[in-house]
Structure 1
Amino acid sequence: MLEKDYQSVGGEARQLWEKGYDTLEKKNFDYAMELLTMALEKEPAFFDCRMALRAAQVKKYESAGKLAKMAASAGAATHMAAAKLALSKKNYFGALNSAEKVLCADPYSSVGHRVIVDAAHALDYPQTMISSLQLLKKANPKDNEVAKELGEALEMLGDWDTAENLMLQLAQTNPEDQELQQAYKDTAAKATIYRGNYEGMMSGKNPLAASREEQDEGPQLTAEEALEEKIYHMEERLQNEPENFKLA
């Protein structure tokens, strides 16, 4: 199922999103979260709505006091259990809905984002995966498994250049990890095939060695820089520029 932007959604889900977005701009975060959550329950593939909801969650959390945050996190335990149960029963839409309620209490919850990643993967929602994986990666930059998942999600999205760049960085920073070396080679091969350029493969040159030679010639775009360019509307932007949140 393809993810949808606001131009691809109509009916009640569109109306709820419009009202929720207007409410978000008026800084009524609780009501905005309620409306946007309802819209997502009607149209889970509505990615623009999910990002608007994430903006409301972040702003609500940032404006809350310490005690309010603690109380909200404690109250989210039921939703967290429901999200895990739904995921275990392969009720992926239910898992997404419950996970979003967890994030309404704590938008940085690693458990909530992990459920969203797993459910979104099953539903073939790469943009939703990327938005949560980027936050998980920021929380734990050395987690190679999360980085590999991010590369896979970028492949699903068809963003081969960024996926290859990310896997190259992983391979270069973990030269002893043979699994990562092979994962990079697989991604590079698929990217080459996708681009229809077989010259590098036919030359017999090791892609990792070639990439390292290119690095010696000048600075290369890092995975983080590439991700920032490609998925600017994801979690990191919502955290850094919540007041400037705009739909693409």
Structure 2
Amino acid sequence: MPEITEAELDPSVKALWLKGLAAVQNKNHGYAIKLLQGVLKDAPGFLDGRKVLRKCEGLETGGPKKKSGLFGMKSGGGLGTMKLVSAVKKDPAAAIPMIEAELEKDPYNPEINDALFEAFLALDMKESAAFALETVRKGHPEQTKFLHKLAEFYITETQGLKAAEVYQDILKHDPTDSAAIKGEKDATARASMEKQKWGEDTNMRDLMRNKGEAEKMDKQARSGMTRDQMEARRDELAQAYADNQNDLGTVKELASVYERLEDWANALSFYEWAFSLSNGDVALRSKAEAMSDKVKSAEMAELERRAAENPDDPEVIAMLAERRKSSIEDAVAEATRRVDQNPTDPVLRYELGRALFDAEDYSGAIPQLQQAKRNPHIQSKVLLLLGRTFKAKGMLDMGVKQLESALEDLTAMDNTKKEVLYEKGLLHEAMDDKENAIACFKEIYEVDYGYRDVAQRVESSYGD
């Protein structure tokens, strides 16, 4: 049973999927659940559909439930967890619809999601398996037994960075967990090795021309490479480049070293040259674009520093203003170009909306952001920016409405929810609605005393 993308859906299933997305956008989560269940019945390997289904179920059921009854399930009704485990062992594919029927009632249930993990693992659907335990991580991060299982899964899949992040979450709930402490260190080390493509079973020396070249690669693989070592390696590569300017390996490595040295201009130059030598390697083009952004950011930071040191220098102030204007115009032009190339991509619509917002073209930003709402994975940040856009246009009540919609999808008090609540509080304040403004700030205050100026805002309200 292969995992598939939206592009691989059968046309009739894709039509049902689009209807489901429309129901999600209209906040008709119950109807969306039924539609998405139909999609997954015909396309069980469609992971994006399962993610949206789980999100809708979470909204419909009110979020994670406290454990009660045997095996963490509500007492009475539904299949027992042991029956699901038995069904997975007999026929994992047939067990998945049974598991989903239980998850509709309690989507974050750790034991049921664990059964789903085992079913997908048996079917070699590893991304879907990971999602099952990621759901537990999101809804019940205190259930560290399942987080350990997820981290160990990521280790076996050579995803050290993800494993390290899971171990870090475990330690937030139990700082004394010695297995997580060791696991986090080991996973971080593995992630560094993976980044360098230096696995335990890879004998890179067999690929080197001689022992001296192997030693150079050993140096590169070490995560603790000092600046002096990187500069020495840069000089070695520069000599090799002088001998042969068309060697792609040398050019790519030289670009990488310049990047690590934060010499953005040279990194840009060599990534661009590497791209031209590679016959269109998209990853190298992306690197070049990223370095171009770094160069512009560095130039902007330098101008801002000079302006801060010389606030009365009209030439520096004018240069900074011109550079800011040019940067915004470039961002709008680039985002517009990308949307023109792929007009159906909601993420690109969001990026264009954000660029237009920065350009203070709020009327132009609104339709782009409204189209970006089609993607449920970015809906919260789209609604946040829409709220700010309406605020900038003086349409405060409409701004509040967008933020209220965003909060409906946010269950955990993470940074996104804090940001939405804070912005909503500011909007209420601008509307002279002090009661609702303070209510927003208090929600943040209760979990994060140090967030921005909420402590001062909340505490001063008691003296009014």
- TM-score tier, shorter chain, comes to 0.5 to 0.7
Partner of 1:229: none
Provide Cα deviations, 1:29-76, integer angstroms capped at 9, x if missing partner.
Answer: 33322221121121111011101111221122129xxxxxxxxx6675
Provide Cα deviations, 1:164-193, integer angstroms capped at 9, x if missing partner.
Answer: 45457879955754x974796478347615
Greater gyration radius: 2
Partner of 2:291: none
3-state SS of 1:105 partner: coil
Q: Could you tell me whether the CA contact under 8 Å between 1:17 and 1:35 is conserved in 2?
A: yes
Provide Cα deviations, 1:98-140, integer angstroms capped at 9, x if missing partner.
Answer: 1111111122322321211221222233333333323423524
The answer as to 2:153 corresponding to 1:141 is no
Q: Alpha carbons of 1:190 and 1:57: their partners in 2 closer, same or farther (altered >3 Å)?
A: closer
Partner of 2:34: 34
**Residues 100-179 of structure 1 aligned to structure 2 (within 5 Å):** 100-138=100-138, 139-141=140-142, 143=144, 145-155=145-155, 159-167=159-167, 173=175, 176-177=178-179
**Relative contact order higher in (CA < 8 Å, ≥ 6 apart):** 1
Distance 2:107 2:76 in 1: 14
Provide Cα deviations, 1:5-52, integer angstroms capped at 9, x if missing partner.
Answer: 322323333222222222233333333222211211211110111011
Q: Alpha carbons of 1:18 and 1:160: their partners in 2 closer, same or farther (altered >3 Å)?
A: same
| TM-score normalised over the length of structure 2 | 0.36
Provide Cα deviations, 1:194-221, integer angstroms capped at 9, x if missing partner.
Answer: 6324747987x9xxxxxxxxxxxxxxxx
Q: Could you tell me whether the CA contact under 8 Å between 1:116 and 1:132 is conserved in 2?
A: yes
Partner of 1:48: 48
Partner of 1:222: none
Distance 1:190 1:62 in 2: 36
3-state SS of 1:77 partner: coil
Q: Alpha carbons of 1:196 and 1:108: their partners in 2 closer, same or farther (altered >3 Å)?
A: closer
| TM-score normalised over the length of structure 1 | 0.61
Q: Alpha carbons of 1:157 and 1:47: their partners in 2 closer, same or farther (altered >3 Å)?
A: farther
Partner of 2:273: none
Q: Could you tell me whether the CA contact under 8 Å between 1:167 and 1:187 is conserved in 2?
A: no
The answer as to 2:85 corresponding to 1:84 is yes
Q: Alpha carbons of 1:194 and 1:2: their partners in 2 closer, same or farther (altered >3 Å)?
A: farther
Q: Could you tell me whether the CA contact under 8 Å between 2:167 and 2:183 is conserved in 1?
A: no
Structure 1 counterpart of 2:34, one-letter code: E
Structure 1 counterpart of 2:17, one-letter code: W
Distance 1:107 1:61 in 2: 8
Q: Could you tell me whether the CA contact under 8 Å between 1:127 and 1:153 is conserved in 2?
A: no
Distance 1:37 1:75 in 2: 24
Distance 1:16 1:117 in 2: 26
Distance 2:159 2:92 in 1: 25
Structure 2 counterpart of 1:44, one-letter code: P
**Residues 149-228 of structure 1 aligned to structure 2 (within 5 Å):** 149-155=149-155, 159-167=159-167, 173=175, 176-177=178-179, 181=182, 185=186, 188-189=189-190, 192=193, 195-197=196-198, 199=218
Distance 2:218 2:176 in 1: 27
Partner of 1:12: 12
3-state SS of 1:102 partner: helix
Q: Could you tell me whether the CA contact under 8 Å between 2:155 and 2:187 is conserved in 1?
A: no
Distance 2:20 2:27 in 1: 10
Q: Percentage identity across aligned positions?
A: 20
Distance 2:10 2:409 in 1: 26
Q: Could you tell me whether the CA contact under 8 Å between 2:99 and 2:112 is conserved in 1?
A: yes
- Let me know the Cα RMSD of the aligned residues: 4.2
Indicate the larger mover: 73-82 or 17-26.
Answer: 73-82
Q: Alpha carbons of 1:149 and 1:241: their partners in 2 closer, same or farther (altered >3 Å)?
A: farther
Q: Alpha carbons of 1:202 and 1:105: their partners in 2 closer, same or farther (altered >3 Å)?
A: closer
Distance 1:36 1:79 in 2: 24
Q: Could you tell me whether the CA contact under 8 Å between 2:3 and 2:47 is conserved in 1?
A: yes
Q: Could you tell me whether the CA contact under 8 Å between 1:167 and 1:184 is conserved in 2?
A: no
Structure 1 counterpart of 2:27, one-letter code: K
